[in-house]
Structure 1
Amino acid sequence: MFFTKNIIRNLVIVAVLCIVYSCSYAQIQDSTRPSRVSAASAALGQDTLVSYIVKKVESYSFKIKRDQSTIKRDIKVAPIKEALPSIKKTLDAFSKRLNEKGRPMNLRGLNTSEIILQENSDRLLDLQSTLNDYFNTLVLDNISLKQIRKDKLLRTYVSDTSLRNQMQSIIQNAIELDSTQKSILAKVTVLKNKVSVILLQSNDIISEIKYLTANVKIRMWGQEDESIFEDRPSEYNQSLTAITLSSLYINAKVLGNYLSNKWDSISFAFLLFVFIVFWCYSNIRRVKKMPEAKEVLAQVFFLKRSVFAACLMVFFTYLPFFFQNSQMSFLHTCELLRLISLSYLLYPFLSKSFKPIWFIFCLLWLYLALDDLLLDPALAERWMLIIADILLIIICIKILKNINDIFIKVANSPATKPLVIFCMAISFLSLLFNISGRPTLAKILGVTAIQSLFIGITLKVFSTIVIESIYLQSEAYKESKFSEFINFKILQHRLKKFLWFVAIIVWGISLLIDFDLYAFESNRFNLFLNANRAIGNMNFTYASVAIFIGIIWLSSIISSIVNFFFNQQRSKDVIKKNTIGSMMLLIRLAIWSIGFIIAVAAAGIPLDKISIMLGALGVGIGFGLQNITNNLVSGIILAFERPIQIGDHIEIGNKAGVVDEIGVRSSKIKSFDGSDIIVPNGDFLSQHVINWTKQDRRKRLNFVIGVSYDSNLNSVKEIIEKTIEANENVLKENPPIILVHDFGASAINIDVFFWVEDLFIANSTKTRVMIEVYDNLIKNKIVIPYPIVTVLQENKETDNKEVSDTK
């Protein structure tokens, strides 16, 4: 029995081993050769499975080709490898310069170094972003590639040899592509690490330069060097010539890099320049063809001298304002080109004694602008600055002594004297600070002194050119509606005030740039504008208030322009009804409404705050704004119902005239004696209005004439009818009506009625008809009697009455 149990147990073990072996053998067979169609596949059908595999093969082939094209982007990595050594070399050079013993870089050198390093840092960030994008793309491609390799469908046995070869090719390509991707990922990772290390070094140097810049700005107010008479040349690293050449090279490189990324702004500014040149040329050409060209051009100086030079000066004046945080090398380049064009424009208008002074002034500006670009200090630089300050002070004294003899024909500006005094004072301070051992502050003040005077002259000429260009436009097209709109005689005074305001702002900004305070002050101003403020529960910023007011102001200007160009403009002889002008109220209301909505959205004012404002406005209306609201609502009603239109002849109360303008709150009536009557819109709805031209412009006229009792009334009627019908202004379709009015004391009174086509000629036509009727009646011996008065006189002595007739 024990033997039997052992036999059974052994048989069970052998059976289990056989089952395990058969399963293992089946798995080995599946892994070594393509599997046959499964039961499920057989159920689907061989054709359906092949079609599904074909679609899979096409999809995988497309993915592999796309990944292979991504691999080819490795070409873009090569420029990064080539760019890193030059960037690293630049950083090492700056690091070495900062660690050198001797005098540190001056303020301009530190600012220029920060610009160059910041550009390199921005470039490194771009390279880092490119590498990160490339790395992430490779990782995602590798993940999808692994899914392709794991797809068992590619190992399914199919009878089609071509399809089977394609499946095997996809597997092989996926294995090779996976290996290539891993290799490139390793290279990109190494390159990313290098870029990160260099970027970290760049940021460290930028932080050190910012610290040194702040330190220089603090130290420049104290004595940073010995007196110029005690200073030693051995303490300076380079000569003035070497510093000048290297500074020019570096500034040229900085300028090229700066302008390479500003082509969009440069292009827009240049297109504006082309438009200004074309505009001025066309106006001057048109004026020269006019009979009074000589008188008109006598008021023009700079544009008559040279349109191109004047426009070029304007171009280099406004060009820096198209760029944010303009670099000093760029500013001085624009100023140099502006000085050349300005000298060409001013030369004929300078007096003979001031022409050499202007030449010396230009040389001084050229040196101080060059000195402002030097990146390292030099002892000779301090001595040259002393000479420049002394010469500038002498020029200022010369100008003050002969301030009325500077220009010929061109009027002096009232700001000339204070500007020259300011320049002389700043130059004197620069001289003192330089001698006492404050070269940085002395250099800043010296450049600021000559810049203040140069910018003042520039803005004077710029303003004159602007006024001259608008004057030429008004004269060239003085018969056009645009010239009537700008009305140069009135605009000139306003424009001068506006240009004065702009000039003061530009002059102040230029001084801040020269003092190297523009960035600091602009940040403070931005913080002031954007700081959150509160009134009760309402939060706001001054920037949002300024935006709101600015858009509302712009809406009012657009409304005025639209109203002017489309409103009724009366001629001296004829007043016609204008339907378009009557719609101006609706158009202006639409402009105001759209402007208000845009202003609210731009200022970021919440709608719940608007509801509070409207609620407060409702309270105001309830207390004291009833009349204003009544007139505003009445204006809207007039715009929609249109009981009156611009050009209508109306009577309201005891006032009569022609509707000249329909406004939002009030309307204007032009009376027949030439006065303007302002009528609140509410009166047009609350009072009786007689509109003589609501339907048409025809009007019925009448007059009364008396004939003697001896006259033949039928003959009189016939004569009057023929006379009226002969007048060309009398309507023929409405024949005149002649009626016997009454029997007067000395004559039979006859009423005459007739119609005229236009209300405007009613009075003149009536006068003419009455004269013609009178002449024809007299010609036909119809007597028009004088009034007869009978006077009775009583004689008390005789009690007799005497009757006498008098005419």
Structure 2
Amino acid sequence: MKPKYHTFLKLTFILGMFFCFSTAFSQDSQSNMVQDSLGVNTPKAIPTIHVIQWIGSKNLQIKKIERELNNNHIITKLDTVLPEFKKNIDKQQTYAVEFIKANPNSQKIDNLYSKWFNYATTLKKWLADLNDEEIKLIQIAQDVDFDEKTIELTYTNAQIEGVPPELLNNIKELWDKIKGLRSRIYKQSNQMLRLEANLDNLGIDIDQTMNDLLSLKDAEVYDILYQRHPAIWNLSFQKPTFQNPIDKEESIVGNLKSVVKYLKENISRLVIYFILCLLLFGLIRHLKKAYTKYPYHAPNKNLDIAKNVISEYYIACTFLLSFTLFHILFLDSPKLLSIFISLLLLIAVSEILKTSLAPKFKYLPYALICFFIIDSIKTFVWFQSLSYRVYLIIEALLVVICLYYFTHPYLKIRKLEVSKLSKFFIKLTPVLYVLTVISIISNLLGYTNLTDLSLKLCTKSGALTMMIYAFLLAVQGVSIGVIHNRFSVKSFVDYEKKQFIEIKLLRNVRIVVFFLWTFFFLAMLGALKPLFTFLGDIFSESYTVGSLTFTFGGIVGFILILSISFLVTRFISFIINDGEGVLKPLNLPKGIPAAISLVIRYFILGFGFILAISSLGISLSKFNLMAGALGVGIGLGLQSIVSNFFSGLILVFERPILPGDTVEVNNLLGTVSRIGIRSSNIRTFDGAEVIVPNNNLISNELINWTLSDSIKRVEIPIGTSYDSDPNQVIDILKEIADQTPEVLKNPPPMALFMEFGDSSLNFVLRFWIAYEGSLQAQSDVSIAIYNKFKEANIEIPFPQRDIFIKNLPQKKEENDI
């Protein structure tokens, strides 16, 4: 059945290629374009014999273009939402002006800047969609102009040739349709230009407001050691200086309306998000079943913790990763929605960290959730100066109470045998006490910038660390689960290799997560943007060495793209490189998954190399000379390398040998361990790893003992004395073969009498057996034959020769005289 299947695929491929070439040829032969001396396509008249057919095809094309013009959703959408969006921007600009006058804290500036950043993101998306439609419209306009010139020439040619009036009217009708279509295209193009101009003007206003907010935040009044307010004893409860009716939009009720509106406008994205969440849930549940079906024995504590996250808290792990995915997909979500998702994320975190925290700290996640809520309230409520200062003092006192509750007595707590996370929080206790005292004192004296920063470090940093640590546990659990499931389904598991991969993966995941924690920690402190600005200036600085100009950013991008491409190919090779990977449910023939993996990996590496070269600012056209030099090099000195490369491709797609096959080539017998680009590895039964060029495997005779199946015929010759009964010997040989478990019943074993030898009756026992156990089975059967023959008194002779020494008469002496 399989050969027919492959023949069908090959035949389909050949017919498909033939159809494509024939279609391309036919289209080219009927083309109405010619090229001038500069290679520019110019229209020409359609021959009269083809005019009717051409008119029919153009009418269909015109209907298609009209449908596209009528269904231009971006124009309809922008005509509807742009006036309202502009009205909202004007309103928010008025609010931003009053907001800047109100002397807000840095947190509120960040919140408002995020809001305007979302406006800018929405505007950029509309501009991108509009530009895409403009490019399509330009191409359509070019085609229509070309068709109009063609039909004009065709009409003139038809008049000259004196075609029937009916045909001439048909050509004229088509000409009028094309003119009307061109008019509609230009009208729609003007509409797009008008919309693009309006979007550009709005973009200027948005950029100006964002720059004003950044300038406000960079002002001296927001320095850490700047006294923004008088001492607290010099204040009194008074009306806030910021009274603006637009402030209602920044309240919780106003943000709730924004959330409802946002969800309605992003239904399609929400559907995609829920589908991804279901897939994520299915993956984690599958990994949990893998832990149950295939018991996992963790060699160290870290692997055991990663396993427990999936096997015991897979629901919480699913929610944690789903909420994290929400923050990635919905960066432009309203602040209230973002805070709500973060709150749910912290609840999932508290569930996962049950096993990682000591009993003394089991309520610590809930305390951090409370502080997260307290801190979030400041986002939506405008306080008077004195009430805000009192609010901060209350928050600081709550931090002191929590620290005392969780760390008293401190010296005794330090001696507890707890997890690394708990030890981390315990060691931070004195630092947190100092930060709390600083926040209280600075608040009393009016240095509220320092107060905000100190409380952020006490509360938000703890919540951030908890979230990142739980995320680390979840990612580790999923990663170890994938590896465990991947190895467990194999018939043979290399536990040393499995453990090595798991430990290496855990180390790499921790490094990545540490950089994520650093990124978010700097963002929380407001130091991320200055750092990016500093690094951006360094990486964008151009350096010239001779005629070569480069930037550090281009070099870093080049290295990152190639590294990511390499890591992706390694991952793809791991999951689909053999029939026991993710393609196992498809039940593909042996070797097909490896071929699929190779094609995908080569494509990713090639595409990654092109992107990496582009990141350096090097045009690919500059490689033309290199390509010519490479061609000369191939012709002169690289023939062997190129031959081995294409031989490797032949080995992968034709599959004469596969990894795991036992082959014999050039008196070399062993198992194929790897088929590479240039060479393949064959591991001999003596333990040597032999590197064989792929060309040798293609051009030379090769014996594959396990290509179609893994069974081998074994022959054991045996001789008996002439006194033995041949019938009894054959019965004994058959009995031994039938009683040996390793010997296959089909094909059945055969015992044959071969010949009358010089000193023995010669027999042979032939039987089939799995190739892997052929040597051991041959030994076992031979010993069984010897034992049976000994019991039956059947002699196994050895070669004998009788030597006869003839006595010669002595030679008569001839010395007689």
Q: TM-score range by the shorter chain?
A: 0.5 to 0.7
Does the residue aligned with 1:224 lie in a helix, a strand or coil?
coil
Give the counterpart letter for 2:693 in structure 1: N
1:117·1:202 contact (CA, 8 Å) conserved in 2? yes
Q: Match for 1:273: what amino acid? A: C
Give the 3 Å change call, closer, same or farther, for CA 457–653 of structure 1 in structure 2.
same
Maintained 8 Å contact 2:232/2:443: yes
Residues 320-719 of structure 1: pairs in structure 2 closer than 5 A: 320-324=327-331, 329-343=336-350, 346=353, 353-354=360-361, 359-371=366-378, 373-374=380-381, 378-389=385-396, 391-392=398-399, 395-396=402-403, 398-399=406-407, 401=411, 412=421, 415-416=424-425, 427=436, 430-431=439-440, 433-468=442-477, 480-481=489-490, 489-522=499-532, 536-537=547-548, 541=554, 542-565=556-579, 581=590, 587=596, 589-603=598-612, 604=614, 606-610=619-623, 635-636=648-649, 639=652, 644-651=657-664, 656-669=669-682, 671-672=684-685, 675=687, 677-681=689-693, 684=696, 691=703, 693=705, 711-712=722-723, 715=724, 719=728
What percentage of residue pairs aligned between the two structures are identical? 18
Change (3 A) 1:331 1:406: farther
Is structure 2 residue 775 aligned with structure 1 residue 757?
Answer: no
In 2, Cα distance between equivalents of 1:323 and 1:568: 30
Choose from 289, 313, 321 the match for 1:314: 321
Contact 1:643 / 1:694 at 8 angstroms: preserved in 2? no
> 3-state DSSP class of the match of 1:565?
coil
With the length of structure 2 as denominator, give the TM-score of the two structures: 0.59
1:443 offset after TM fit, Å? 0.8
Matched letter for residue 657 of structure 1: G
Partners of 1:597 and 1:698 lie apart in 2 by 41
In structure 2, relative to structure 1, the CA distance for the partners of 1:347 and 1:703 (3 Å cut) is closer
Q: For 2:485 and 2:660, locate their aligned partners in 1 and report how far apart those are by CA, in whole Å.
A: 30
Deviation at 1:214, TM superposition (A): 2.9
Q: Distance in 2 between matches of 1:451 and 1:668?
A: 54
| CA gap 1:758/1:234 in 2 versus in 1, 3 angstroms | same
The residue identity in structure 1 corresponding to 2:705 is T
Q: How far 1:662 moved relative to its partner?
A: 2.8
Give a deviation string over 1:620-675, Cα, whole Å, max 9, x none: 999999998887566456557866544543456786333344333554445557x4
| Contact kept? 1:430, 1:441, Cα under 8 Å | yes
Q: What is the alpha-carbon distance in structure 2 between the residues aligned to residue 553 and residue 128 of structure 1?
A: 34
**Does the CA-based 8 Å contact 1:702-1:751 persist in structure 2?**
no
Matches within 5 A, 1:156-175: none
The answer to whether the Cα contact below 8 Å between 2:99 and 2:242 also exists between their aligned partners in 1 is no
Name 2:241's counterpart in structure 1: 237
Q: Secondary structure at the match of 1:564?
A: coil
> What amino acid is aligned across from residue 670 of structure 2 in structure 1?
G
Q: Given the superposition, is the C-alpha separation of residues 233 and 601 from structure 1 closer, same or farther in structure 2, using an over 3 Å criterion?
A: same
Between the aligned partners of 2:549 and 2:725, the Cα distance in structure 1 is: 84
Change (3 A) 1:776 1:94: closer
- Partner residue of 2:275 out of 251, 271, 274: 271
Relative distance call for 1:263 and 1:248 in structure 2 (3 A) is same
**1:374-425 C-alpha deviation (Å, 9 max, x unpaired):** 55662232343244335435645754656678898x7746754566676556
In structure 2, how many angstroms separate the alpha carbons of the residues matched to 1:634 and 1:740? Answer: 50
Amino acid at match of 2:523: I
Aligned residue type for 1:510: F
Q: How far does the alpha carbon of each residue in 1:352-378 deviate from its partner, in whole angstroms, 9 at most, with x for none? A: 544565554443332233235555662
2:577 is paired with a residue whose SS is helix
- Aligned partner of 1:142 in structure 2 is none
* 1:631 to 1:195, Cα distance in 2 relative to 1, 3 A: closer
Over the aligned positions, Cα root-mean-square deviation in angstroms equals 6.0
1:693-726 C-alpha deviation (Å, 9 max, x unpaired) = 2888776756666666xx44xx565554554456
C-alpha separation in 1, matches of 2:729 and 2:697: 42
80 and 717 in structure 1: CA distance in 2 versus 1, 3 angstrom threshold: closer
What secondary structure sits across from 2:579 in the alignment? helix
Q: 1:717 to 1:678 in 2, by over 3 A?
A: same
Write the deviation string for residues 507-546 of structure 1: whole angstroms up to 9, x where unpaired: 2222233223444545655666666666754757233543
Alignment check: 8 A CA contact 1:737 1:752 kept: yes
SS of the equivalent of 1:738 reads strand
State the one-letter code of the partner of 1:213: K
TM-superposed CA distance for 1:455, in Å, is: 1.5
Cα distance per residue 1:246-300 (max 9 Å; x no partner): 7545555665666665555444333333333344456657877x69899999996
AA aligned opposite 1:451: K
Name the CA shift for 1:765/1:107 in 2 (closer, same or farther; >3 Å). closer
Partner residue in 2 for 1:107? 106
Alpha-carbon distance in 1 for matches of 2:230, 2:782:
105
Gaps of 5+ in 1: 1-72, 134-188, 570-577, 791-807
Letter in 2 for 1:494: K
Letter in 1 for 2:274: F
Q: Distance in 2 between matches of 1:740 and 1:214?
A: 107
